[in-house]
Amino acid sequence: MSKITPEHLARQAVVYIRQSTPDQVANNLESKRRQYGLADRARQLGWNDVAVIDDDLGRSGGGVARPGFEKLLAAICEGRVGAVVSIEASRLARNGRDWHTLLEFCGLVGTLIVDEDGVYDARHPNDRLLLGMKGTMSEMELSVLRQRSLESIRSVAVATTGGIGTHQALEHGGPPCWKAANNRPNYVASTSLIGLSPPSTAHLHNIILIAT
């Protein structure tokens, strides 16, 4: 039995698109292409009215406001959305709080969640369990990436200070130390994964305080 009913199809399908950093927007073109292509998937499933929300491209990393996500929640609460479509369901939110808020809203108004793997109804216990597991696993993976990145930053700070004290590091650090750190592929790769920008001297100060 299909979870998609005429009631769902009478409302709008909303494709929510996000990439966490401007670097991902510029360089991960395949992900962007696949996400915009989800509009065709929604039409194949029966929706005629399909909208795309891409306000959060390059701005959905930690600590950045997400007007697109807020717009999505508002549309769901108004009962205008029959389905939320994303490339992977857990990518709809960046943390557990946002994820469970979205699930609650979808469950209350009967909005489906659709990704490349399937169609989920947050009102059904089994679907709710599966969606909860997807969100938990996604949050855990992000936490591991952040922890590894912080360890990489700490290692760079130790290597570039040469074991000298904090005040001496500040006196002799600054841009030269950052330049050395920025040339390390592991550091650059790890920071880009979590949307970090090259630190200022003040940021480098904090890194050195951790390392010494």
* Residue position matching structure tokens 């306000």: 55
Q: Are 87 and 34 in contact (CB under 8 A)?
A: yes
For residue 136, give Cα distances in angstroms to 158, 199, 203.
33, 30, 30
Catalytic residue among 20, 90, 149, 190: 20
Give which of 158, 169, 170, 160 is closest to 210, Cα–Cα.
158
Q: Which amino acid, residue 187?
A: Y
Extended beta strands in 6-148, E state: 12-19, 50-57, 81-85, 112-114, 119-121
Q: Are 31 and 107 in contact (CB under 8 A)?
A: no
**152 annotated active-site:** no
Sheet (strand 50-57) strand order: 50-57, 12-19, 81-85, 112-114, 119-121
59/68 Cα distance (integer angstroms)? 10
List, by residue number, the catalytic residues.
20
